Amino acid sequence: MTEFWLISAPGEKTCQQTWDKMMAATSRTNNLSNNNKFNIPDLKVGTLDVLVGLSDELAKLDTFVESVVKKVAQYMADVLEDSRDKVQENLLANGVDLVTYITRFQWDMAKYPIKQSLKNISEIISKQITQIDNDLKARASAYNNLKGNLQNLERKNAGSLMTRSLADIVKKEDFVLDSEYLVTMLVVVSKQGYGDWQKTYETLAEMVVPRSTKLLFEDNDNGLFSVTLFRKAVDDFKHKARENKFTVRDFYYNEEEMKADKEEMTRLSTDKKKQFGPLVRWLKVNFSEAFIAWIHIKALRVFVESVLRYGLPVNFQAMLLQPNKKNMKKLREVLYDLYKHLDSSAAIIDAFPYTVKISVM
């Protein structure tokens, strides 16, 4: 995370003097922070009552927009799964990395026309981000359902022989099929119990076909054996197998059902691949939109609070500071000394001028 402090200080004779004073105190001699001017256009001021109301509204909108930015970024990481190392290259604003966008911020006149009132601009952003939030919920729900269904099928085809699907293990020739009297059962036997199985399986019920068992598959702990017996002996065989710690799997070979399961897995896998690309593109575009909107909200807050605190005519310099992490305490002290003549009741961080923090990933 990279932290920025976005501050505004009242203009002196000129805003350039305010900037020069800040640079001299924090950057030129002691390398406390890297500073950039933060350009806010001449927005419509409106009435004092509107500004006071907007102050609270913008603070809430700021929190909401930030939460959507983080949700889109987090879902990007979830969707990329094993390629999470590529998340950062997909989280851009206007095609550039986030730090570059913030440090070179320019107001987007096309999206947020400055001829509109401050209230209207905030409503445009609110509607835009609400739409992104709603779309994200819908797209995430659809993709997560698809992904969850696929994972459930994959889990059925993996894991222990005690629980996993046997459809991809057994073959048609492993079974006696279409017999009125005979049926093939599948039994899970621990590897330590192979000897016991071979000695006892023929005697677990009266109608077990001699020498009919066959080892079909092994995992780390168990083996899957087939055994053929008369249908009327199935219940007795299951009971005796349980007593001897052999697990009978309820599986009856049905080619149509097995084919349907494989087709469903193929369909879900194909659908997931089809949705992946468009979803990542949507997340990239809308992360950019949400992030850009968020920084414009920061600009609006700085403008509104600066007019409320420093009065009219509009005369303040907005500045973006990227503190040197080792010198944050010293930077606070320097800013305190620089601006302690301002009303401390208006401070947000110690006795600074109006300040908001921006943390980017």
Tens digits of residue pLDDT in 79-103: 998 777 788 899 999 999 999 999 9
Q: Are residues 22 and 136 in the same domain?
A: yes
- Calpha distance 49→51 (Å, rounded): 5
Scored b (16 or more CB within 10 A) or e, 37-76 reads bbebeebebeeeeebeebeebbeebbebbbebbebbbebb
Q: What is the pLDDT of residue 361?
A: 64
**Per-residue confidence at 153, pLDDT binned at 50, 70, 90?**
confident
Q: What is the pLDDT of residue 312?
A: 85
Residue 297 burial class via C-beta count within 10 angstroms: exposed 0-12, middle 13-18, buried 19 and up: buried
**Per-residue confidence at 2, pLDDT binned at 50, 70, 90?**
confident
In a domain, 319, yes or no: yes
Domain boundary among 185, 220, 249: 249
Q: Are residues 185 and 319 in the same domain?
A: no
Q: Are residues 90 and 15 in the same domain?
A: yes
Per-residue pLDDT reduced to its tens digit, 205-243: 999 999 999 999 999 999 999 999 999 999 999 999 999
Q: Are residues 115 and 68 in the same domain?
A: yes
- Calpha distance 151→268 (Å, rounded): 10
Q: Are residues 294 and 240 in the same domain?
A: no
User: Per-residue pLDDT averaged across 345-354, rounded?
Assistant: 45
Higher pLDDT among residues 128 and 24, named by residue = 128
In a domain, 71, yes or no: yes
In a domain, 161, yes or no: no
Domain boundary among 189, 217, 249: 249
Higher pLDDT among residues 314 and 68, named by residue = 68
User: Per-residue pLDDT averaged across 50-57, rounded?
Assistant: 92
Check pLDDT > 60 for residue 344.
no
Number of structural domains (the chain) is: 2
Q: Are residues 352 and 293 in the same domain?
A: yes
Check pLDDT > 50 for residue 270.
yes
Q: Are residues 197 and 232 in the same domain?
A: yes
Q: Are residues 55 and 141 in the same domain?
A: yes
Is the separation of the CB atoms in 308 and 52 below 8 Å? yes
Domain that holds residue 205: 172-249
Integer-rounded Cα Rg, in Å, for the chain is: 34
The CATH number of whichever domain residue 138 belongs to comes to: 1.20.1460.10
The CATH number of whichever domain residue 233 belongs to comes to: 3.30.70.100
DSSP string, 105-153: ----TTTS-TTS-HHHHHHHHHHHHHHHHHHHHHHHHHHHHHHHHHHHH
Q: Are residues 132 and 206 in the same domain?
A: no
Check pLDDT > 50 for residue 350.
no
Q: Are residues 234 and 276 in the same domain?
A: no
In a domain, 264, yes or no: no
Q: Are residues 230 and 318 in the same domain?
A: no
In a domain, 7, yes or no: yes
User: Per-residue pLDDT averaged across 338-358, rounded?
Assistant: 59
Q: Are residues 27 and 117 in the same domain?
A: yes
Q: What is the pLDDT of residue 354?
A: 65
